Structure 1
Amino acid sequence: MSLVPPNRAWMKAPQASTEYLDGVISFLTFAQKKPGNDGWYCCPCVACRNVNGKKTLHEVSDHLIRLGIDETYTTWTFHGEPLPTSGIKKGIPSTSSSATPRMVDLVNDAHIDPESLDDCMD
């Protein structure tokens, strides 16, 4: 099932305006329809920016009304909107086989034991 997000013009309206408040309601209604949301939501307000943990719908509503929405959050991926697919070339592998060994090296380097670095310094 594909969810159709509401219009986003409200995101740039003044926070105290009817347009903005109606937009918050339409956003929250849209977010509630996301399958598997379990009653907890990422908060797209200017303070949380979807990264400060999940909140109840009431808390998200409060933040959006008091603090405003992050206007750069234009594709609501954390709230059920799929990523746009236009411009993505199909049939091209996302990584080449020659890049795989380098990726493995990067992961291994990231998880190196700090004490073993002493051996490299000598």
Structure 2
Amino acid sequence: MDESWISRKRTTPEFRQGVEEFIQFALKHKKEVGKICCPCRNCGNITTVSTESQLLDHIFWNGFSKNYTEWIWHGEGVSGRTNNNYEDPVENLSNDHLSYENDELDDFVHDTEDNLEERSHVLDRFLSDAEKPLYEGCTKYTKLSSVLSLFQIKAEGGWTDKSFIELMAKLKDMFPENNELASSTYHTKKMLCPMGLDAERIHACPNDCVLYRKEYNELQECPRCGESRYKVSDNGDATNEPAKVLWYLPIVPRLKRLFANAKDAKNLS
């Protein structure tokens, strides 16, 4: 079965025909009435739909999970086909590497916890940001990819918001006029957080005794070891900077990717 349509644009006849063939296959092999695992990029076979029209809408709206090439959640056994078109990811590592950045950015745009069917303007804006050049004539970076690259450096380097704002302002001034680079940390986070990238910043005891949340949320020192919640200045006064911070990042998008891959899904089930 030729599944090259999965990587085609959703407006092409090949993609439409492939989706129709997949839906017929899924309906033929579904095990439970009224429940069909949805392989769109938003659901990742974790969520089910009840009708053919819902399945069709999800796939055309969110796209089809690129790694879901063995339809184990729709009646096909793992490695149960004799498909000459199936490409082993290890054997094709060089090709995968070449398209890695574009694929990751594309998945990033679509892997969101929000119900984009109810917020179509959000999807429209993100798709536009993912395609809009950083400045006229720029072919390497888009408005979205530039923000992702810079924010990744900020996170890995532990930069403060102040230093990041200064860098953004300087870069924006260096680039050609009317460039699309975000002008501040606020605009950067505003662009990323609605896509399911919200992170919760939780203060923690420097000795790892407790997290300052729930019943400990208002405490100024650790109830177990007595250490201050905030860093202390040289003169002994407490500052507003937490002594230790834990970042909570959502795990659902990663689980969706794992379940989309046939081999990983088999190990998870």
1:27 maps to 22
Q: How do 1:1-122 and structure 2 match up within 5 A?
A: 6-34=1-29, 36-84=31-79
Deviations 1:42-88 (A, max 9, x none): 000000000023432211110111111000111100111111269xx
Separation in 1, partners of 2:51, 2:30:
16
TM-score of the two chains, using structure 1 as the length reference: 0.60
What letter is aligned with 1:8? E
Give CA-to-partner distance per residue, 1:70-115, whole Å, 9 cap, x none.
Answer: 00111100111111269xxxxxxxxxxxxxxxxxxxxxxxxxxxxx
How many angstroms apart in 1 are the aligned matches of 2:48 and 2:18?
A: 23
Calculate the aligned-residue CA RMSD, in Å.
Answer: 1.8
Q: Given the superposition, is the C-alpha separation of residues 80 and 15 from structure 1 closer, same or farther in structure 2, using an over 3 Å criterion?
A: same
Q: Which is bigger in relative contact order (C-alpha 8 A, separation at least 6)?
A: 1
Structure 1 or 2: larger strand share? 2
Name stretches of at least 5 consecutive residues in structure 2 with no aligned partner. Answer: 82-269
- Given the two structures, how large is their TM-score scaled by the length of structure 2? 0.28
Identity percentage of aligned residues = 31
Letter in 2 for 1:72: N
Contact 2:41/2:63, CA 8 A, preserved across alignment: yes
Asked if the contact 1:43–1:51 (Cα under 8 Å) also holds between the matched residues in 2, the reply is: yes
Separation in structure 1 between the aligned mates of residue 77 and residue 59 of structure 2, nearest angstrom: 22
C-alpha distance in structure 1 between counterparts of 2:30 and 2:20, whole Å: 18
1: distance between equivalents of 2:41 and 2:80? Answer: 27
- Change in CA separation of 1:32 and 1:66 when aligned onto 2, cut-off 3 Å: same
Distance 1:51 1:38, change over 3 A: same
